[in-house]
C-alpha cells in the first residue's frame, strides 16, 4: 500500500457520514453481542456501505451514506438493492451519485479490493472510507481514513492498490447543531442524558462565574485608578483598550435586528406550544363533558351540549 495519493483530488467529508458509519457499526455490534452465548469473545464485526456526494472538478464532497448488503463468503454485492437506493436518492438529491464505499477496521485488507473492483462499474474511480472503531485515548485525529485506488506495477504485474488521501471536514449549520447535540447529550459513561446535560450546564455556569469575577476585579481596579487611589499605568490601560476593541459591537443596528428576530421567534414558538397545550386540555375537557352529559341525556331526553 502506497503512503499517499498522487491524484490531486481534494476530499471534503461531512460529519453525517461519520455518524452514519458509527451508528451502523454500533447496531451490528450490539446485535452480535446479543446473539452470542457468552463464550469466547468474537472478533469485532465489519460493516459495509456506500458513500454518496458530488464531484466538482478536482473537489470531491461526501455528503451522506447508506448501508450495503454484502456477502463476505462470495464477495458479492446486492446489485438490485444498490440500484434501488441510488434511484431513491436521485429523486430527492438529483446531483448526488455513488462516490465509493465505506467499511470499519484498523487498516485496509486485501479482501477489500474485491468490493472496490465490484463498484467500478458504477464509479470508475471509487473512494474507500475506513473508520477505525477501536478507542485510542492518545489519538487526537479522527479515526477515519480515505483511500483511493491506483494502478502500480509490482514485480512486472500491474495491480490496483489502496493509497491514502488527505481530507477536510466540511459542515453545514444543521450538521453543526446535530454534532454539538450528540457530543454534549450522548451518555459516554453509562449516565443519563439529563446527567450529561446538567454537567455541561454546570461547567458553563462555572466558566461564566469565573469570567464575571475577573471582570469585577478589573473594573474595581480601573475605578480606583480613575479616582487617583492608585497610580495610573498606561501599559495596563493600553491592554484594556485593546481587549475592549476585540469585543463584538453588540450595539450595532444589525445585532439589534437579529436579536429581536431570534427573540420573537422564540416567543412565537413558546406561545404556539402554550396554545397547543391549552387546546389539548380543552379537547379533553369537552370530551369528558360530552361523555357525562350523554349519560344524563339518555335518562332525561336532552341532547348533548356540543
Across the chain, which has 306 residues, the per-10-residue mean pLDDT values are 71 90 88 63 80 90 88 79 87 88 87 86 88 81 88 80 88 75 58 66 87 89 88 86 74 77 88 88 85 65 51
Would you say residue 262 lies in a domain? no
Would you say residue 292 lies in a domain? no
Would you say residue 53 lies in a domain? yes
Would you say residue 211 lies in a domain? no
Instruction: Please state, in angstroms and rounded to a whole number, the distance separating the CA atoms of residues 235 and 62.
Output: 51
Would you say residue 78 lies in a domain? yes
Q: How many domains does the chain have?
A: 1
The pLDDT of residue 102: 92
The pLDDT of residue 249: 59
Would you say residue 306 lies in a domain? no
For residue 190, give the DSSP letter.
Answer: S
The enclosing domain of 149 has a CATH number of: 3.40.140.10
Which of helix, strand or coil describes residue 152?
strand
H or E element that contains 127: strand 127-131
The pLDDT of residue 3: 61
Which range of residues forms the domain containing residue 52? 10-33+44-169
Beta-carbon neighbour count of residue 103 at 10 Å? 20
Would you say residue 154 lies in a domain? yes
pTM value is 0.57
Would you say residue 277 lies in a domain? no
Q: Give Cα 225 distance to the centre of its chain.
A: 50
The pLDDT of residue 72: 73
The pLDDT of residue 35: 63
> Contact 145/127 with Cβ under 8 angstroms?
no
Spell out the alpha helix ranges (H) of the chain. 15-35, 79-92, 112-118, 173-185, 193-227, 234-246, 253-300
Q: From residue 266, how far is each of 90, 262, 278 by CA, in Å?
A: 36, 6, 18
Amino acid at each position: 500500500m502506497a503512503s499517499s495519493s498522487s491524484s490531486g483530488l481534494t476530499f471534503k467529508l461531512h460529519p453525517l457520514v461519520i455518524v452514519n458509519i458509527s451508528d451502523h457499526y454500533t447496531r451490528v455490534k450490539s446485535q452480535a453481542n446479543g446473539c452470542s452465548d457468552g463464550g469466547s469473545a468474537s472478533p469485532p464485526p465489519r460493516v459495509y456501505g456506500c458513500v454518496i456526494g458530488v464531484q466538482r472538478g478536482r473537489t470531491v464532497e461526501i455528503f451522506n451514506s447508506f448501508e450495503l448488503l454484502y456477502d463476505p463468503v462470495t464477495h458479492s454485492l446486492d446489485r438490485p438493492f444498490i440500484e434501488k437506493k441510488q434511484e431513491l436518492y436521485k429523486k430527492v438529491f438529483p446531483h448526488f451519485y455513488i462516490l465509493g464505499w465505506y467499511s470499519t477496521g484498523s487498516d485496509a485488507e486485501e479482501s477489500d479490493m474485491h468490493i472496490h473492483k465490484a463498484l467500478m462499474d458504477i464509479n470508475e474511480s471509487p473512494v474507500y472510507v475506513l473508520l477505525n472503531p477501536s478507542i485510542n485515548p492518545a489519538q487526537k485525529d479522527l479515526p477515519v481514513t480515505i483511500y483511493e485506488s491506483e494502478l502500480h506495477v509490482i514485480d512486472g504485474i500491474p495491480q490496483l492498490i489502496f493509497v491514502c488521501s488527505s481530507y477536510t471536514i466540511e459542515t453545514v449549520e444543521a450538521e453543526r447543531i446535530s454534532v454539538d447535540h450528540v457530543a454534549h447529550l450522548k451518555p459516554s459513561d453509562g449516565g443519563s442524558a439529563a446527567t450529561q446535560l446538567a454537567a455541561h450546564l454546570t461547567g458553563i455556569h462555572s466558566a461564566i462565574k469565573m469570567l464575571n469575577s475577573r471582570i469585577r476585579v478589573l473594573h474595581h481596579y480601573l475605578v480606583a485608578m480613575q479616582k487617583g487611589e492608585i497610580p495610573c499605568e498606561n501599559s495596563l490601560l493600553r491592554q484594556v483598550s485593546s481587549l475592549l476593541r476585540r469585543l463584538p459591537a453588540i450595539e450595532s443596528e444589525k445585532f439589534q435586528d437579529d436579536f429581536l428576530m431570534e427573540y420573537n421567534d422564540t416567543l412565537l414558538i413558546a406561545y404556539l406550544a402554550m396554545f397547543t397545550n391549552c387546546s389539548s386540555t380543552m379537547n379533553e375537557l369537552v370530551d369528558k363533558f360530552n361523555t357525562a352529559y350523554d349519560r344524563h341525556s339518555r335518562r332525561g331526553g336532552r341532547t348533548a351540549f356540543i
